[in-house]
Structure formats: structure tokens, C-alpha cells
Amino acid sequence: MTSATVTGKPDEPVVATRNYLTEGGVTLRSWLLTRDHKRIAILYTLSITVFFFVGGAAATLIRLNLVTPSGIFTPDIYNRLFTLHGIVMVWFFLIPSIPNTMGNFLIPLMIGAKDLAFPRLNLLSWYLYVGAGLLALFAILIGGVDTGWTFYTPFSSLYSNGYVVLALAAVLAVGFSSILTGLNFIVTTHRMRAPGMTWYRLPVFVWSNYATSVIMVLATPVLAITLILVAAERLLKVGIFDPALGGDPLLFQHLFWFYSHPAVYIMILPGFGVISEIVPCFARKPLFGYKFVVWSSIAISVIGFFVWAHHMFVAGISLYAGLVFSLLSYVIAVPSAIKVFNWTATLHKGWISFDAPMLYALGFIGLFTIGGLTGLFVANLAFDVHVTDTYFVVAHFHYIMVGGMVSAYFGGLHYWWPKVTGRLYPEWWARIAALLIFFGFNLTFFPQFILGYLGMERRYYSYPPEFQAWNILSSAGASVLAAGYALPFFYLGWSLFRGKRAGSNPWAATGLEWQTSSPPPTHNFDRMPTVTRPPYQYRPEPEPQDV
Amino acid sequence: MGSLQLLPPTASAHAADMDWLFAALLGTSAFILLLVFGLMILFCVRYRKNSKVERGNRLGRTWRVEVAWTTATFIAFLGLYFWGAELYVDIHSPPKDATDIYVVGKQWMWKIEHPGGQREIDTLHVPVGRPVRLVLTSEDVIHDFAIPAFRIRQDALPGRYETLWFTPTEVGDYRLFCAEFCGTWHARMGGSVVVMQPSDFQRWLDSQDPGPSLAQEGEALFRSYGCSGCHGGAGTVRAPRLEGLFGRPVPLEDGRTVIADDRYIRDSILMPKAEIAAGYPPVMPSFAGQIGEDDLLKLVAYIKSLADGTAGTSQAGSVERPAQ
């Protein structure tokens, strides 16, 4: 892809002759040893795409199995499939998705810096990610793991006969990759902003990634500790979680969710950032309530640490713990609602156009709102007692993680594609894909809310026949969704070679990343930019390009 | 392949309450969804790029709007919270006259023991209209006893007793699932809850071959494990008498007071040093690893029966009665 993007035809205008894809060479070695945040972002993008398709393949097989009530695969294969799907999608796609690709590429550009604060650490983070990913794939290939991505004890520590310790090691390693990225972003945001780039002039994308990074740095070590304890119990029979050895199985759940609930916000906050960039650009209006959007992200990252036991309302926690954690879960729903209201208000009296990134953003708002509102259902004590561990919960978190985060990821991918590659994608195909994803997603996951209320449990390879009709609908939706996700792979790939040259600012967007050429030069800016205005100063008439 | 069913059967008093809560959650969500989607669609159409509509007088002081919608959202959320919390407290407060049925989960079956000694696997027979309290535990990994028709479920943990209660209101067969992933045959670890008319239920109980009741078996174990040596009152070691104990507060050596419930009895057998009754030397050995969950349940049932002299069908309401 590298050489083709820079050999423009002579009749095409605005070719950045000097850019990060050519400077420093185009050899494999120059890529694998690069310290340029933009090249590392490309490496990350390629690797998470591989894992997205691995996790997606498992999801496809899961939906295939559930077409019939008796299942197609054996239970052992099915249990390995959903474990693989969960581990790969959570740790090897969702958590690194926006921060490590777009965050890596854009944060220095958005704040007017030459690179991240620690370029070598950034490369190390990618190598840790790849090493961990290969380890996870190895564990899967030699026999797999059947614990679910949640590794609940004492099943994972003493009863499961899968390759649990290998999987734990892979997750542990990828956790360090998260920590390094988080650290890098925090220091970069504090120390490397261009003159005039005050905190309240930062794009919301930077704020969101900052809030995400704080969670990564504070929560991930707890995961590391927990996984090591599980491995210690499994390998050395040290009694920590299994009551037969004198341990406490609920201790694991407290520790695991102390990481994994904040991790939900690691997965969604960067998405909020992307949407907050796209909506003002295509509504040609400043973001409504900038400070409220910013501080709601910070509020989410703080309160997010105090809601973990809402995963445990039927697990045997005390009545009072249940009452407190449910209340806090309702509290954290407020800042999320604030964001939705602000995005909607941004549309008011705007000059709205519906290019592909905007379609993804509007789809995000719709799906995230449904996901957020059903969050109120599962945060509700009595309601959760009926639906926890059913497909209601599965549908709820897929609305947030897939309907929300993956839509935001695709929205961002389209929005910044011209900046990253210097090429435009075919708009018509991009809109088709956005619509396919939206409708396919709803057809896949909406029936699962109903299935969950009916009592269909998670992680069942077979189920009572009265649930089949909704399952068939869901599986039909999954095939539409799969087509929607495969489509960008082709037209974006095509645009790398044949796409129209983008110019530096095809959307007439504000933001420093649009002030430099596309693709940007290795050092991002020819002259250090100076910032004099707040972000999102959009006006109805598109500003002339490339001045 | 079944039709597109929307609601599960409603077979308990709590299930009916839960469906109202569901309706309230749905109503609130529908209102917010219609508001957000309605405004989004309205704005997208009205303020599309090519429309000539007037766009002057944009909202100025945004913080007023922000405070208004933040407060409104929070108040609506609080209402839902309290509603759900009240029902949650309710399903954690079993009535005093509930019948105790013991449930032990193990990979991959549910073993159920009625107070009269009747046993069943993967099927639970209960009478309609009478409160039932399940005492749940597990022999291996975490399981979860889920009855969608009653809208309740509870994890069964190894090494702990958890409880779950319900009053069935409709006769019929309802699905029973294991809801916590527990290994290969997780999806097949279930069966049914059979709700019967009380007279039919009594006939069913009589038709089973009960053998001794749980409490009677517990009494035999009480002797065979040597408990009676000290707790029987005849021995040389001074140990707490167990008659009339169950359900009463026990003052502990460290100044705390606990209620002598299923958990306290079980923990005192397995970890006697953890909660020492005030005034007694801590000399009892631990029976951890020597008594299985089945036998523990029987011992608990026996000690429970000592409180009121019955065969362990019910303990509560009887704590005021003098010990035998």
C-alpha cells in the first residue's frame, strides 16, 4: 500500500510529495523500526483489522450454531468459540481500536506536536500487542479456552481443561500495551500542546482519549494482578478463589469487574470523541455545550471506578452493596445522557450534510442511545435479577460496544481516511455500507433483548425450541451485518490505489490536523502552529481548501 | 420452530410486579427515544444543508439548557432506581412461613432435597400459593438457579449458602436453567419447576419414597461425626447446647452478635474458630474437607429442627418457643 499511495498521476492536483509514507524509506525494516506515531498507527490499524476478522469469524460461527435449537457444533467447540470471540474482540480489537489507531495518529496532529512524548514506548506498545495477539492465537490453535472472556473462578482456576494460563498470559501482555499507550497519551497531552492550545481549546477527541488513558493506567494493573492470582491458583494450587482451597470465588469477580467495568468506558469514551468531531463538522456548527461534553467524559472516567458490582447483583453480594452500586450506576448514566443531548442540540439550526462519516455518527447516536437506555434496565436491581446472564445483557452491551464503538470506529475511519492516506473513498459505497451496518446491526441484536426477557441464557450452545424464531431473525441480521463490515474492506482498499486525491482539508474542517498536508509530513507541521481560537468554529459556507 | 413470543409466562406474584417495572422502564425509554430520535430527525430534515429555513437566534446560554436536562434526567432515573430497589429488597426478604427446600448444584445437575427427605434431580415440585425458600449451594463451580417464569435467579456458590424465595401463583410446568457458565454441559443443566395444587403436591410428596427426613438423617450424622459427644450435654467438654438455637441471636466472644442461620451453622462446622460463641473455649476442630455439601445440609436441617421440635419444615416463628 505504501508505494502506491504516493505515486500520483501527474494530472492530479495537490500531491504531498513529502509525507510520512515516503520519508524514511518504504522498506519493511523502516516500518518495523519506525518511531513515527503515524506509521505505528498504521501498524496498529492493520493488526487490529486482522483480529476484527478473527473475532468476527467466531461471531459468525456462533450465530450459525444458534440457527437450530439443538446447535450445530459440540458444546466444547461452541464454548471455545464464544470465549475466543470475547477475548479477541475485547482485548485485541475494542480496547486498542480507536486509541491506538486514530488516537495514535491524531493526538499529536490535533495538539500541534511532532510526535507522542515517548515514540519508542509507542513502538514497544505495538510489539507487546502483536506478541500477545500471537500468543492468544497460539492458545486457540492448540486447543482453545472454554472459560468465557470473564475467566470466572473457580471454573477457570481449577475446573476448566482449556489452555487457560496461555490465554491469561496473552491478556496480561496486551494489558501492558494499554498501559504504555495510556501513559504516552497523558504525558503528551500535558506537555506537548502547541502555543495557544489551552485545555479548553483541545478537541473533544483529545479530551476523550485523555480520560480513556487515565482509566487504562489506573485499572489495567488490577487486571494484571487478578490474572496472575488465577494463574497462581491454577498452577500452584494456592487457595485464593476456590473455597475448596480456602479461597473466595467472589473476590475474583470484584477484582475482575474493578478493571472490566472501567474497561467498558475505555471502549466507549474514544467513540464519544470521534462523534464529537464529526457532528459539528457536518452540521457546520460549533459543538453544543463543549465544556459539558468534556467534563461528562471526565465524570464518566471517575464514577466508572465505582460501579463494578452492578455485574454481581445475583452473585451473592450483600443487599446494601446492591443498593449502593445500583444507585451509582444510575448516576453514571447521567453524563452519557448529557452527551446525547448535546450532539442532538448541535444539529439544531445547522447546515447538515449527510456524507458517510455523518451517517455513521448519526447511527452511533441512535444505537448508543438504545444501548444506554437499556443500561438503565440492567442497572435496575429487580430487573437485573431477571435478565442478568441472559441475551438481554448480551444485546445491551453489543449496542454499546458494536452499535456504538464500532460505528464510531468506522465513522472515524472514513472521516480521517483522506488525512491518513491522501485519498478519497467512493462516497456512494461508503453510504451503502453505513446503512447496511445500521440495519444489519438492529436486526441482529434487537431480537436478543426479547430473547433475554423470555429467559434465553448466555453461553448456551442449545436452547428450548420456543426461542428459535427470534434466533433465526438474529442470525439473518448477522449475515447482513457481516456484509456491511466486509464492504469497507474492499472499497477502502480500492481507494488506496484509485481514490481521488483528497487535498489537505476535504471536509473544510477546523482542527489542526486539517491544516497540514495529506498525508502529513513525518514531523507533522512545516511550521509550529499557533492556536488562537476555540475548537469547532464552523461556519455555514465551506472555507476554501488549501490556503 | 415456535412463534415470535414476546413475554415469558408469569407464574408468581413477583413476576407480575416485575412486568409492571418493565413497563415503566419501557415507557421512560420510549419517551426519551422518541424525544431524541424525533428531534434528530426533525433537525436533520429542517436544517439540511440546502434548506432555506431561518437559522437566527441560536440558543445562547447553553448552561441553562444543560442544567435543565441534566436535572430532569437524574430525577427520572432516581424514580426508576427506587422502584427496582424496593422490589429487590422484597425478593431478599422471605416470609417467616416459607418452606425451605435445599438445592445443590454440581456439574451438570441440580440436586433438590425437600424437608421431608424427598429428593429429585433437575425438577422442582412446589405447591401453588405457598411461599418457598430455596437454600442454594454448589459442590464445584458457580452455577445459577434461574426461573424466568418467576423473574428470579440466584448464583449458587461453592462454600456458601445463598437463598431465593418465591410464591407461585399459577399451576404449570416452567423452565429451569443454569444461568452461570459452568463448563461443557452448561446449556443442558436445567429442567423444570412443576407448580401443583397443594393437594396434588401432597399426593406427590406421599408417592415419593422419602425414607428418613433430612433432619432425621442429620441426627444420625450428628452422632456418627461425634458432634453429640460435646454438644449432647453429656460430655466432659463444655460446648454450646443447640436446642432452641436456630434463628436466635448468638453473642460472640469478640463482642459481635450474629443470628444463628444456615450460614452460621455451616461456617461453625467448617470454620469453628471464626465466630466463637461467647463464654465457650475455642476447642472444636474444623470439619472442613470431611463433610460434603449433602451431609452439611442435613446437619443444618437437624439443628434447625432442634429449635422447634418439628422435622425441620420450618424454623421461623418458633424462636420464641422454649427449647426442648
ipTM score here? 0.88
Inter-chain CB proximity A148 and B181 less than 8 Å: yes
Inter-chain CB proximity A314 and B84 less than 8 Å: no
**Least confident range of A34-48, A498-512, A521-535, B1-15:** B1-15
Residues carrying CATH 1.10.760.10, chain B: 214-308
What does pLDDT average to over chain A?
92
Residues carrying CATH 2.60.40.420, chain B: 9-37+63-211
Predicted local distance difference test score (pLDDT) of residue A11: 41
- How do B172-178 and B191-196 pair as beta strands? antiparallel
Question: For domain A2-6+34-125+193-212+257-514, which CATH number applies: 3.30.70.100, 1.10.630.10, 1.10.150.80, 1.20.210.10?
Answer: 1.20.210.10
pLDDT exceeds 90 at position A415: yes
CATH annotation of B9-37+63-211: 2.60.40.420
Q: How does pLDDT run across B229-268, given as a tens digit for each residue?
A: 788 766 667 788 888 888 888 888 888 888 888 888 888 8
Inter-chain CB proximity A464 and B175 less than 8 Å: yes
How big is the A-B interface in CB pairs under 8 Å? 263
The rounded distance, in Å, linking the Cα atoms of A498 and A492 is 10
Q: How does pLDDT run across A327-367, given as a tens digit for each residue?
A: 999 999 999 999 999 999 999 999 999 999 999 999 999 99
Q: How does pLDDT run across A237-273, given as a tens digit for each residue?
A: 998 998 888 889 999 999 999 999 999 999 999 999 9
Mean pLDDT (whole number) for B151-166: 93
pLDDT exceeds 70 at position A402: yes
A197 backbone dihedrals φ, ψ, rounded to 5° = -85, 80
Q: Do residues A297 and A211 make contact, with C-beta atoms less than 8 angstroms apart?
A: yes
Inter-chain CB proximity B185 and A75 less than 8 Å: yes
The rounded distance, in Å, linking the Cα atoms of A68 and A472 is 8
Spatial strand order in the sheet of B172-178: B123-127, B191-196, B172-178, B143-147, B152-156
pLDDT band per the 50, 70, 90 thresholds, residue A542 = low
Mean pLDDT (whole number) for A265-285: 95
**Least confident range of A17-31, A466-480, B114-128:** A17-31
Q: How does pLDDT run across B52-111, given as a tens digit for each residue?
A: 888 877 776 778 888 888 888 889 889 999 999 999 999 999 998 999 999 999 999 999
Predicted local distance difference test score (pLDDT) of residue A543: 47
| Higher pLDDT, residue A539 or A294 | A294
The rounded distance, in Å, linking the Cα atoms of A13 and A240 is 65
CA neighbor of A43 nearest in space, from A55, A32, A57: A32
C-alpha cell read off for A47? 493488526
Nearest chain A residue (CA) to B3: A469
pLDDT exceeds 90 at position B130: yes
The rounded distance, in Å, linking the Cα atoms of A368 and B180 is 27
Mean pLDDT (whole number) for B181-198: 95
Q: How far is B101 from chain A (nearest CA, A)?
A: 18
Kindly state the percentage of chain B with pLDDT values over 90. Answer: 49
C-alpha cell read off for A186? 497523558
pLDDT exceeds 70 at position B310: no
Query: Using only C-alpha atoms, what is the Rg of chain B?
Result: 27
Mean pLDDT (whole number) for A91-108: 96
Q: How far is B274 from chain A (nearest CA, A)?
A: 13
pLDDT band per the 50, 70, 90 thresholds, residue A178 = very high
pLDDT exceeds 90 at position B212: no
Residues of B in contact with A292 (CB under 8 A): 62-63, 66
**Least confident range of A108-117, A179-188, A355-364, B298-307:** B298-307
B204 backbone dihedrals φ, ψ, rounded to 5° = -65, -45
**Least confident range of A102-111, A423-432, B228-237, B300-309:** B228-237
CATH annotation of B214-308: 1.10.760.10
Residues of A in contact with B32 (CB under 8 A): 337, 369, 373
SS3 B100: strand
Domain residue ranges of chain A, discontinuous segments joined by +: 2-6+34-125+193-212+257-514
Beta bridge partners of B191: B176
Inter-chain CB proximity A454 and B8 less than 8 Å: yes
Mean pLDDT (whole number) for B43-50: 91
Q: Which of A253, A352, A393, A537 to mutate to test the interface with B (most CBs of B within 10 A)?
A: A352
Predicted local distance difference test score (pLDDT) of residue B234: 67
Q: How far is B148 from chain A (nearest CA, A)?
A: 5
Predicted local distance difference test score (pLDDT) of residue B315: 37
